[in-house]
């Protein structure tokens, strides 16, 4: 699995500098406007990176090459999920760094930062859980249609909720108790991983 | 011991079905796999590398039955396949570093020497390579982890004659070790004639010929005669025929050739074409 992570690392370093800049911009805008929506977009862009590597793999036939190597198929899936979680961690780290800066500037409260982290974890894991099995099963070309069908309504809903919350003057707040709800995307993520393994193990090239 | 043995192996794709019963690649030999497009050569190779699963039957590698997840055996196999490439966004050095973590017996020195020998650029990205250069890099990978078995699907296609010759030399060097085996498919039959010990001919998903290459020349004959004489031959003895304006060329087993027929030299390519026609008159 380390070999696969190393390969994706080389690919991401070469291909994703611009994407990381976008993530930083969205996270920054999120804090400047105290809008969770932008921060969530930053997260989704971040966890899209491993999905992008899957697209590159399929476009350039690495996905077939790797099956000929002495690597178990479940390790191929595992590497993508680990990479996705690493990407999610990077986006959370960025959020923390920006959050602390804005907190020190007295622009936001610690509760807002906590809430944003909660939303990011939820959105990120949900996105990974839904999209990764689809792309593994159908390939990126066909899978991206489903990806759009699923992602656009979720992002739109998040935007609508955000504007409703803002327009009604409800303050953004969170307590540590809210994190218990993360059990839902965590369970989804575990289920999604096993589903993806099953899809790849039954896949014929 | 056999490096590869396929027993009752079946795979069906729509109208096409592949059936390999007792297909054997003896250890220490080079076996050339020939056949027209869509005959089942690539499917055979995909089955051997577990890229696709068989509907029925089993595969043995080095005397052991393999399952779909044959990681241990794949560590001993080097491969080249038409639609399977290393990552497009890595250069040869980075690809080597990745492979070092994939294969337990990766030999970085050997890889580096092969990059030099095959004139493969080390810093250039794989996606910027020509098709021939891509093929050379994949071959370098296949040859750099002390594999016991090479499974090569069209490794010399799109290579210039000089490089092809170099690749064939490398393959012959590889089989100097007595337990090293090569299964190679190619449309460039002259390449296979140069290096193969055995020839396996797949036609419409079935093996119609599997023989030692030298034995082929002893067992089969390309004989010519007039059209009328050819119609008088026993049809069951005709393995393939081609009609020309000057007469008929007929592929037969040596013992079936009548005295009035003129025996000719033939090569594998002619034999393949005649066998594919299977006795039909054009």
B85/A201 touch (CB, cutoff 8 Å), yes or no: no
CA dihedral A78→A81→A60→A138, nearest 10 degrees, is 100
B101/A67 touch (CB, cutoff 8 Å), yes or no: no
Domain, as residue range, for A12: 2-201
Q: Of the spans A54-68, B158-172, B266-280, which averages the highest pLDDT?
A: A54-68
Q: Which residues of A touch B99 (CB under 8 A)?
A: 3
Residue B50 DSSP one-character state:
T
Question: Mean pLDDT lowest for which of A46-55, B18-27, B179-188?
Answer: A46-55
**Residue B258: Cβ within 10 Å count:** 13
**pLDDT tens-digit series, residues A41-66:** 777 777 778 888 888 899 899 999 99
Q: Is B74 on the interface with A (CB under 8 A)?
A: yes
Give the ranges where chain A is alpha helix by DSSP (H): 2-15, 17-32, 36-59, 62-68, 73-104, 110-167, 183-201
B208: helix, coil or strand? Answer: strand
- Closest chain B residue to A204 measured between Cα atoms? B52
In total, the C-beta contacts within 8 angstroms joining chain A to chain B are: 84
Count the residues in chain A: 205
Q: What's phi and psi for B165, nearest 5 deg?
A: -65, -40
B100: helix, coil or strand? Answer: helix
| Mean pLDDT value across residues B43-71 | 88
| Cα of B151 to nearest chain A Cα, Å | 10
Is residue A94 packed enough to be buried (19+ CB in 10 Å), middle (13-18) or exposed (0-12)? Answer: buried
**pLDDT tens-digit series, residues B134-166:** 999 999 999 999 999 999 999 888 788 888 888
Q: Which residues of B touch A70 (CB under 8 A)?
A: 71-72, 74-75, 102-104
| Mean pLDDT value across residues B223-240 | 84
A65/B98 touch (CB, cutoff 8 Å), yes or no: no
> How much is the pTM?
0.84
- The count of structural domains within chain A is 1
Q: How far is it, in rounded angstroms, from Cα B172 to Cα B251? A: 30
Instruction: Write down the pLDDT at residue B282.
Output: 33
Q: Which residues of A touch B49 (CB under 8 A)?
A: 67-68
**Residue A201: Cβ within 10 Å count:** 15
Residue B81 DSSP one-character state:
B
Pairing of strands B198-203, B30-34: parallel
Q: Is B123 on the interface with A (CB under 8 A)?
A: no
Q: Which residues of B touch A57 (CB under 8 A)?
A: 87
| Cα of A199 to nearest chain B Cα, Å | 13
- The complex scores an ipTM of 0.86
Q: Which residue has the tokens 């000089």?
A: B162
Q: How far is it, in rounded angstroms, from Cα B93 to Cα B108? A: 10
Mutate to test the interface with A, among B44, B70, B101 (most CBs of A within 10 A): B101
Q: Per-residue pLDDT for B191 more than 80?
A: yes
pLDDT confidence tier of residue A67, bands split at 50, 70 and 90: very high
**Residue B92: Cβ within 10 Å count:** 25
Q: How far is it, in rounded angstroms, from Cα B132 to Cα B129? A: 8
Residue B22 DSSP one-character state:
S
Q: How far is it, in rounded angstroms, from Cα A58 to Cα A139? A: 7
Cα B67 vs. chain centroid, distance in angstroms? 23
Instruction: Write down the pLDDT at residue B80.
Output: 93
Nearest to B242 by CA among B264, B222, B269, B215: B222
């Amino acid at each position: 699995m380390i070999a696969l992570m190393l390969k994706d690392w080389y690919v991401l370093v070469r291909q994703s500098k611009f994407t990381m800049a976008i993530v930083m911009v969205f996270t920054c805008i999120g804090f400047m406007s105290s809008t969770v929506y932008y921060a969530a977009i930053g997260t989704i862009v971040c966890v899209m990176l491993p999905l992008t590597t899957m697209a590159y793999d399929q476009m350039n036939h690495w996905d077939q090459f790797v099956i000929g190597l002495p690597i178990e198929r479940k390790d191929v899936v595992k590497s993508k999920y680990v990479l996705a979680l690493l990407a999610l961690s990077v986006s959370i780290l960025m959020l923390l760094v920006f959050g602390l800066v804005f907190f020190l500037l007295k622009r936001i409260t610690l509760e807002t930062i906590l809430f944003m982290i909660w939303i990011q974890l939820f959105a990120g894991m949900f996105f990974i859980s839904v999209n990764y099995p689809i792309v593994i099963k159908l390939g990126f070309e066909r899978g991206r249609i489903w990806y759009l069908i699923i992602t656009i309504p979720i992002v739109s809903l998040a935007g609508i909720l955000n504007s409703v919350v803002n327009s009604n003057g409800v303050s953004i707040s969170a307590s540590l108790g809210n994190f218990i709800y993360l059990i839902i995307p965590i369970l989804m993520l575990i289920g999604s991983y096993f589903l993806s393994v099953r899809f790849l193990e039954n896949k014929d090239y | 011991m056999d490096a590869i043995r396929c027993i009752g192996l079946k795979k069906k794709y729509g109208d096409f079905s592949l059936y390999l019963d007792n297909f054997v690649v003896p250890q220490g030999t080079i076996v050339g796999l020939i056949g027209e497009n869509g005959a089942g050569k690539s499917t055979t190779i995909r089955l051997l590398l577990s890229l696709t699963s068989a509907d029925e039957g089993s595969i043995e590698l080095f005397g052991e039955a393999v399952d779909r997840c044959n990681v241990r055996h794949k560590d001993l196999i080097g491969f080249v396949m038409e639609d399977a490439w290393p990552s497009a966004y890595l250069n040869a050095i980075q690809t080597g570093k990745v492979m070092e973590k994939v294969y337990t017996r990766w030999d970085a020195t050997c890889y580096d020497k092969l990059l030099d020998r095959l004139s493969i650029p080390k810093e250039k990205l794989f996606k910027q390579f020509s098709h021939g250069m891509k093929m050379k890099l994949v071959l370098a990978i296949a040859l750099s982890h002390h594999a016991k078995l090479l499974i090569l699907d069209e490794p010399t296609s799109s290579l210039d004659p000089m490089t092809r010759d170099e690749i064939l030399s490398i393959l012959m060097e590889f089989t100097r070790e007595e337990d090293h085996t090569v299964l190679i498919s190619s449309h460039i039959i002259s390449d296979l004639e140069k290096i193969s010990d055995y020839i396996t001919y797949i036609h419409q998903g079935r093996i119609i010929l599997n023989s030692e290459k030298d034995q082929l020349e002893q067992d089969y004959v390309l004989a010519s005669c007039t059209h009328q004489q050819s119609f008088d031959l026993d049809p069951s003895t005709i393995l393939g025929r081609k009609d020309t304006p000057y007469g008929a060329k007929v592929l037969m087993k040596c013992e079936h050739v009548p005295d009035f027929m003129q025996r000719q030299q033939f090569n594998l390519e002619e034999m393949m074409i005649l066998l594919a026609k299977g006795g039909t008159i054009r």
